[in-house]
Structure 1
Amino acid sequence: MEKETVRIEGFSDAVFAIAVTLLVLELHVPDKDSIRNGNDLVIFMKNQWPAFLAFILSFFSVFIMWVNHHKIFKQIYSRNSAIMFANGLILFLVSTVSYPTALLARYFNGEASAVVVAIYTGIFVLINFAYNLLWFLASRNKKLLRPGITDAAIKKIRNNYLYGFPIYLIALLFSFWIPLVSLIIILGLWFFWALSSGKIEMNVTEDRNRKIK
C-alpha cells in the first residue's frame, strides 16, 4: 500500500520548524548602553528568567509534539479531508504557541501571572484535543492506517493521547491559583509524552512481529 501522506508530513515539518524558530525571538539581548560590566549583564539575565523558562518549556513542548506527530503519521498511510483539516488544526495551534510564550515571558513575574499561565496552558489543552481528534478520525477507518496494524495497537495509541487530556485540564485549573504548579505539570507531561511515544512504537512493532509469525 502506497503512503499518501508524504506531502502532509513535509508541510507539517516546515510549520513545526517555523514555530520553534519564532520562540527564540522572545530572548532579548540588552542594550549596549545599559550594560557597564559583567555584573550588570548577570543581573539583566537573572531578571530575564521568565523568558528563559518560557522558551525552554515551549521549545521542548513543540519538539515533543513534533516527535508524536511523526510517530502518529507512521501509522496513517492514507488521507481524507477530515484528516487534513484535523492536521491543519494541529498546525494552526502549534504556530500560535509563540504568542502565549511571549505573554508568559513578559508577565509571569507580575500580577497577571495567573491569566498568562492559563492562556499558555489552554493552548496545550487545545493541541492535545486536536491530536485526539486526528487519531479518532484516522483510526475509525482502518483502511486509512498502516497495513497490518492491530486493534490493540490502535487502542494503545488512542489511550496515550486520551490520558494527557485530563492532566492538561488539571494544569489549566491550577494556573488560576498556583501558576508555578501548572508549569511543573506541563514539565512532567514532557516526560510522559517522551516515554509513552517510545513505548507505543515498541508495542506497535511487537504487535506487527507477532502478526508476521
Structure 2
Amino acid sequence: MSGPDTDLGTRSDTSRAVAFSDAIFAIIITLLVLDLGIPDVPPGRLLSGLLSQWPSYVAYLASYSYVAVVWLNHKAAFNRIRQVDRGLHWMNLLVLFSTALLPFPTIVVSHALQEHNNADQRVAIAFYALIGAFLCATWLAFYHYLARHPDLLKEQVKGGFFHGERFRALAGVVLYLLAGVIGYLVAPLIGLVIFPFLPVFYALTSAGLYQLRVTRRITHHPSPPS
C-alpha cells in the first residue's frame, strides 16, 4: 500500500471527480428515455399502441430507478472521501463505465418483451443480469481499493464498514447472476421479477449497512432525555 506522501502529485480533492460523475449520470438518464417513442399505428389506434409499449415503460422505470440508486450510493461514498488518487479515479471510471451500459440491456429487454419470443426473452434477461452483476462487481473493486487506501478518507470508518460495503456489492453479483440463470433456464418473467428488488436494497442501504443498523438501533432504543 502506498503511503499518503508518496503520490501527492497524483492526488486531488473530490470536486472534479464528483462533477464529472454527475455529468455522466445525467447523460445516462437522458439516454434511457430515447427508447420511448411514438408507436407506429394507424389513425385511431394510438391508445392501444401506447398501451402495447408497456415493457418500454417498465424497463425505463426500472433502469431510471437503478441509476438514481447508483447516484445515491456514489454520493454517499464520496461524502466519506477526502482525496482522490490515480487508482481511485480509475475505480470511479470503472463504476461509471458499468453504469453507462445500463441503457443497452434495458432496450434489449424492452424489445424482447414486446416481440413475445421466449428464446429472445431468455437471452435478454440473462444479458441484463450480466450487466447488473458487472456493475456490482465494479463497486466491489471500488470499495476494495478504498479499504487498501484508508488515508484517502476524511476520517476513520468503523471496523465493519468496508466488510459491509463489499458484502453489499458481492450480494448484488450473486443475486443478479442467480436471476439471469433462473430467467434463462426456467422462465424469463421470474428472473425479471427479481431485478427490482436489488435497487430497493441498495436504496435502503445507500448510507451503508452499518448506518442502517445504527438507525434501527436508535429507532428501537432511543436515548433517554437529558
Q: State the distance in 2 between where 1:149 and 1:204 align.
A: 15
Q: Which runs of 5+ in 1 are unaligned?
A: 207-213
* 1:29 to 1:78, Cα distance in 2 relative to 1, 3 A: same
Q: Which residue in the other structure is 1:48 paired with?
A: 53
Tell me the CA shift for residue 18 of structure 1: 0.4
Tell me the CA shift for residue 205 of structure 1: 8.0
Q: State the distance in 1 between where 2:206 and 2:48 align.
A: 40
Does the CA contact (< 8 Å) of 2:32 and 2:63 recur in 1? yes
Q: Which residue in the other structure is 1:151 paired with?
A: 159
Q: State the distance in 2 between where 1:172 and 1:136 align.
A: 25
> TM-score, normalising length from structure 2?
0.81
Q: Which residue in the other structure is 1:6 paired with?
A: 15
Identity across the alignment (%): 28
**How many residues get paired?**
201
Misfit runs of 4+, over 4 Å: 203-206
* 1:148 to 1:73, Cα distance in 2 relative to 1, 3 A: same
1:127 equivalent among 135, 151, 159: 135
Mapped pair 1:17 → 2:22: no
Mapped pair 1:195 → 2:204: yes
Q: Which residue in the other structure is 2:36 paired with?
A: 27
Whichever residue aligns with residue 167 of structure 1, its letter is L
Tell me the CA shift for residue 35 of structure 1: 4.3
> TM-score, normalising length from structure 1?
0.85
Does the CA contact (< 8 Å) of 1:83 and 1:138 recur in 2? yes
Q: Which residue in the other structure is 2:190 paired with?
A: 181
Q: Secondary structure at the match of 2:206?
A: helix
Q: Which residue in the other structure is 2:117 paired with?
A: 110
Tell me the CA shift for residue 199 of structure 1: 5.4
Q: State the distance in 1 between where 2:155 and 2:183 align.
A: 43
Deviation by residue 1:136-156 (Cα, 9 ceiling, x = unmatched): 001112111121322233333
* 1:115 to 1:105, Cα distance in 2 relative to 1, 3 A: same
Q: Which residue in the other structure is 2:88 paired with?
A: 83
Q: Which residue in the other structure is 1:164 paired with?
A: 172
1:57 equivalent among 59, 62, 82: 62
Q: Which runs of 5+ in 2 are unaligned?
A: 1-10, 216-226
Tell me the CA shift for residue 42 of structure 1: 2.1
CA RMSD of aligned residues (A): 2.2
Range with bigger deviation, 143-152 or 16-25: 143-152
Q: Which residue in the other structure is 2:43 paired with?
A: 36
